[in-house]
Structure 1
Amino acid sequence: MWVVKIGGSLSHDPSLREWLTQLWEVGGGRVVIVPGGGDFADTVRQYQSEWRFGDLAAHNMCLLAMAQYAILMQGVLPELVLASNEIRIRRALRDGRVAVWVPTDLMRDTPDEMTNWDTTSDSLAAWLSTTLNAERLMVVKSCVVEAGTPLEALSSKGVVDARFVKHVKDANYVVEMFNKGDAGLMRDRLLHIPVV
């Protein structure tokens, strides 16, 4: 199983349709898509700045932001299956489908290590990859990411969140970074690397 995190910055980019289509065409039964927060999450930041509520409320609102992006993805490609937990994800994959994670099950009543702005959809994708015992985590960004750039450097530049490196440090899965124009490269990976 592969987890593919698609950045919210692609939510207004024509490449989003290509990514979703390619994943659907070659990823059935193998791929779980994690949506970013994008401008849905940016709106949460604005409201938090205006109303000064805590990070717990912001965390829960950002999970709903990711859910909105997931629904947008299914709106673009109705064949995708929305799945809010591991059972539903695995059912979609068993049915030969591509799942899109709706992370509302991670909403919290009390703060924990995930309820802060250092933990974004990047780290949540890593958390899901660990939870599902994924084979790969592929992170798609709209900005240019040079091949081989250390994850620490990407974190310091804000390309991935501050906690991402910690989440993947001892991971049992491969982490790959992709640019928005790399849908064909991702397709090649899915077609030529066998799933264990």
Structure 2
Amino acid sequence: MWVVKIGGSLSHEPALRQWLMELCEVGGGRIVIVPGGGDFADKVRQYQSEWCFDDLAAHNMCLLAMTQYALLMQGVLPELVLASSEAKIRRALRDGHVAVWVPTALMRDTPDAMSNWDTTSDSLAAWLSTMLNAERLIVVKSCPIAGNERLDALAASGVVDRRFVDYVNEANYVVELFNKDNVELMRDRLLNTPVI
């Protein structure tokens, strides 16, 4: 099983449809998509600045932002299966589908290590990869990605969130960052990497 986090920055890119179609074509039964927050999460930042509510409320709202992006993805490609739990993810994969994670189960009543702006959908994708015992985590971004750039440098420059390195530091899965234009590389990886 591979987790593919598709950044919210792709929500206005024609490449989004291409990514979703390729993942469905060659990744059925193998891929779990984690949606970013994108514009929906940007609105949460704006409202928090305006109304000064705490990070716990912002965290819960951002999970709903990711859910909206998940719904957008399924609207673009109805073959995608929305899944809000590990059992639903595994069922979708068993049935040969691509699952899109709906992270509403991570909504909190009290603050914890996840409920702050240092932990975004990047870190949540890493958390999910660990929970599912995934083989690989691919993070797709719209910005250029240098193949040899260290994760801590990417976190320092804001390409991934500040907590991402902590989440993947001792991961037992492969972590790769892809640019939105690397759809063919993703296809090649899926077709030529043996299923474990």
TM-score (norm 1): 1.00
Letter in 1 for 2:178: F
**Could you say which residue in structure 1 is the equivalent of 2:119?**
119
**Could you say which residue in structure 2 is the equivalent of 1:143?**
143
Letter in 2 for 1:44: V
Q: Contact 1:137/1:175 (CA < 8 Å) preserved in 2?
A: yes
**Could you say which residue in structure 1 is the equivalent of 2:97?**
97
Question: After superposition, what is the alpha-carbon deviation per residue over 1:9-54, rounded to whole angstroms, capped at 9, x for unaligned?
Answer: 0000000000000000000000000000001000000000000000
Helix, strand or coil for the counterpart of 2:12? coil
Letter in 2 for 1:46: Q
Q: Contact 1:74/1:82 (CA < 8 Å) preserved in 2?
A: yes
Displacement over 6 Å in runs of 4+: none
Alpha-carbon separation, structure 1, partners of 2:188 and 2:11: 23
Helix, strand or coil for the counterpart of 1:147? coil
Query: What stretches of structure 2 of length at least 5 have no aligned partner?
Result: none
Letter in 2 for 1:34: V
Alpha-carbon separation, structure 1, partners of 2:129 and 2:188: 21
Alpha-carbon separation, structure 2, partners of 1:185 and 1:148: 16
Letter in 2 for 1:114: M
TM-score (norm 2): 1.00
Identity level (%)? 77
Alpha-carbon separation, structure 1, partners of 2:195 and 2:36: 25
Alpha-carbon separation, structure 2, partners of 1:84 and 1:50: 30
Alpha-carbon deviation of 1:167?
A: 0.2
Query: What stretches of structure 1 of length at least 5 have no aligned partner?
Result: none
Whether 1:153 and 2:153 are equivalent positions in the alignment is: yes
Q: Contact 1:135/1:195 (CA < 8 Å) preserved in 2?
A: no
Alpha-carbon separation, structure 1, partners of 2:195 and 2:127: 20
Helix, strand or coil for the counterpart of 1:11? helix
| 1:36-185 matched pairs, under 5 angstroms | 36-185=36-185
Cα RMSD of the aligned pairs, angstroms, is 0.3
Report the count of equivalent residues: 196
Alpha-carbon separation, structure 1, partners of 2:132 and 2:78: 24
Alpha-carbon deviation of 1:195?
A: 1.6
